[in-house]
Chains A and B, each alone.
Chain A
Amino acid sequence: MYQLLAVAAYIVYTVFSLRLLWHFLIWVRASHANRGVFRFKLSTSFNTVLLMAIDLISFRRVMIASGPLWVGSLIFHLSFLLVSLGHLRYFTDPVPACIQDLQPLGLIAGYLLPASVIWLLSIRTLSVKHRYLTWHNYLILGLVLCISTGGLLLRTVFRTDLVAIKSFAYGLLTLQPALLQDAYLFALHFALVLILVLILPSHIFSAPLIIMEARRREQELRMVMHDR
């Protein structure tokens, strides 16, 4: 069964990379004639770059749209990032100091992640104003809830042999996946992660670019008709 998981991981990794590459190729093949919005590109000042970064990190645009949604989204994305970074310890040997230092935060994020998913799902199903979620977004949130809860259980209730898991994960990276015995919950956790990677929405790559571009455009608006 673990060989199967390993093969699945390689397939998912290949499909994911191909999908990403294809996406990028479609972007590159877009029209070069229609470039109006780039007119003032050179005027991007340090101040604007700073504001672009703040917008990206703080999810300012979501905050303006809805406070409760902002709280949920910010905690969701931040804890997702921390948990993902924390997992790098399974894929590195020796584990870099910065990843080790992140572990206490990663632990807290491990609890916050499922909590934020529940918060987001509640807003999206109970609030009259925000009652809406595409089936794809339901699927993603559902998967993240299962994965993060599974991860928590693996850490607290059904403690697993971490050394064995690390050999398996690190082995995947070095193309020599090690055997793993009786870690059924981990197998489920891992399989769900593979499914998540397969259906990961591509906006996680494109939205950050657009958030920054939007801030640049907002700054630029003052210059369209006013003295530059």
Chain B
Amino acid sequence: MTADKTEDQTAGSFTENLSMLQMIELDACTQCRECLNVCPVQEVTGNPAVSPPEKIRMFREFIKATAGLKSRFLKPKEIDRKLLEDFTKAVFECTTCGACGKHCTVGIFTQRLWPFLRKEMISRGLVDFKILTDMPEAIRNTGNPYNLPAEDRYHPWLPAGITIAEQSELAYYAGCTGAYTAQPMVKGDVSVLNAIGDPFTMLKEEDEVCCGFPLFISGQHDMLEDLTRRLVTSYQAKGVKTLICSCPCCVNIMTREWPVFYGKELPFRIMHITQFVLNALKQGKIRITAGLKTRLIYHDPCYLSRGVGVIEEPREILRSIPGVQLLEFERHGLNSRCCGAGGAVRKVYHENAMAMGRLAIDEAVAKKADRLVLSCPACYGKVNEAMVGHDKQIPIVDIMELIAGLLERKQI
């Protein structure tokens, strides 16, 4: 590596990617370590070096060394490369589940802070997880981070007989992870939407590009404005007033970050599919007729519960199934425990992610649930994977996959 390159990576301001609020947040950490009690990465690694206060302490050191009072009067310090590498590892080992922020004694919004700390490391060229750094190119070429053909986005799972309107006030966004890796889930989504009967539209396969979440979460923000504008303009052209999506990560970036990249409020509202389906149930547009004498346990996806506050709707839907007994994880709702699929960790720290997934499986089995209900394509993929070779087994089902099988369309 050239001397110049090394200097680019270890010197210069560390504050350019952070908002004022985030700077204050970094400062506000009291190093009390209470958040370690809820961090799933701590639970499976037991390594405090990758804990929230340690990441914050290290990043503060970087700021102090390059922008602190002393560094202004004396020569700014160059940061030890090893320390930067340790920090990069710590910040990418996190699932960005946000549990630490929820339980933080001062309330730091860690779920949004970590991606910006990652961005700093990415911009310094310190991240060499190829699977992550290849994503922008893949999205540019194929529209999805998996680098799979755009023309295969819908046809492997979109059931025949589903009517997709050309123009409609209602649209459905499948999302890359659902469309390519959790197909029973998106198939369930469109089947339920079809049963509800309100006409809905979808973008053409090559137009339904990535929502930007994997780039946002991994700190690669350059393409985000372009992706947001492309999608928003396409939906606007179809006259969309409500955009429905089932992926918590997509929903999260759409509601929280799209308006920032778009530069103003979106011209349509975003709804999670459980919200839309619950409304349809309440309005009598669909009815769950088939009973299911079973014990279900529902896992809250971090980006749906802590991320955007959708907690009750999935539960209400599940409770409306005749015969169902709904169980809860010890930690649920806003306090839910990450299954290991979040924050791109499943791609780079596979073992940790598997161990976290197995904790969810073990608890569901210990609670004597018959099925584990998920509502996130990333969780769906990871927990299914964690089941392979594990001594405890439980059937996994996506919430819409389950509902799709139990519906009767009411003729109105």
Contact = CB atoms under 8 A, between A and B. Distances in A.
9 contacts: A22-B72, A23-B27, A27-B24, A37-B19, A65-B103, A65-B105, A130-B34, A136-B31, A224-B308
A206 B24 CA distance: 6
B367 to A, nearest CB: 24
Contact of B69 (A22, A37, A224): A22
A62 B104 CA distance: 8
B19 A34 contact: yes
Contacts of B19: 30-32, 34-35, 37
A211 B20 contact: no
B15 A26 contact: yes
Contact of A211 (B63, B107, B112, B256): B107
B104 A225 contact: no
Instruction: Give the residue among B25, B106, B272 with the most A Cβ atoms within 10 A.
Output: B106
Contact of A61 (B21, B23, B104, B272): B104
A18 interface: yes
Contact of B23 (A30, A37, A226): A30
Nearest to A18: B69
Contact of A37 (B31, B72, B112): B112
Contacts of B270: 225
Interface residues of A, number: 50
B270 to A, nearest CB: 7
A66 interface: yes
A69 B280 CA distance: 47
Interface of A: 18-19, 22-23, 26-32, 34-39, 55, 59, 61-62, 64-66, 69, 129-130, 132, 134, 136-137, 201-203, 205-207, 209-211, 213-215, 217-218, 221-222, 224-226
B257 to A, nearest CB: 6
B184 interface: no
Interface residues of B, number: 47
A132 B36 CA distance: 11
B116 interface: yes
Contacts of A226: 309
B226 to A, nearest CB: 15
Contacts of B29: 203
A115 B140 CA distance: 62
B275 A209 contact: no
Interface string B91-123: 000000000000111111100100010000000
Instruction: Give the residue among A35, A129, A130, A207 with the most B Cβ atoms within 10 A.
Output: A207
Nearest to B103: A65
A213 B275 contact: no
B260 A39 contact: yes
Given A66-B34, A203-B27, A26 B308 contact: no
A27 B25 CA distance: 10
Instruction: Give the residue among B105, B256, B259, B275 with the most A Cβ atoms within 10 A.
Output: B105
B25 A29 contact: no
Contacts of A66: 34
Contacts of B18: 30-31, 34
A187 B34 CA distance: 37
Given A19-B69, A26-B67, A61-B107, 12 more contacts: A18-B69, A27-B20, A31-B15, A62-B105, A65-B32, A65-B37, A203-B106, A207-B106, A214-B104, A214-B108, A225-B251, A225-B309
Interface string B4-30: 000000000001111111111101111
B255 interface: yes
Interface string B62-86: 0100011100100000000000000
B316 to A, nearest CB: 13
B297 interface: no
Nearest to A70: B105
Instruction: Give the residue among A129, A136, A213 with the most B Cβ atoms within 10 A.
Output: A213
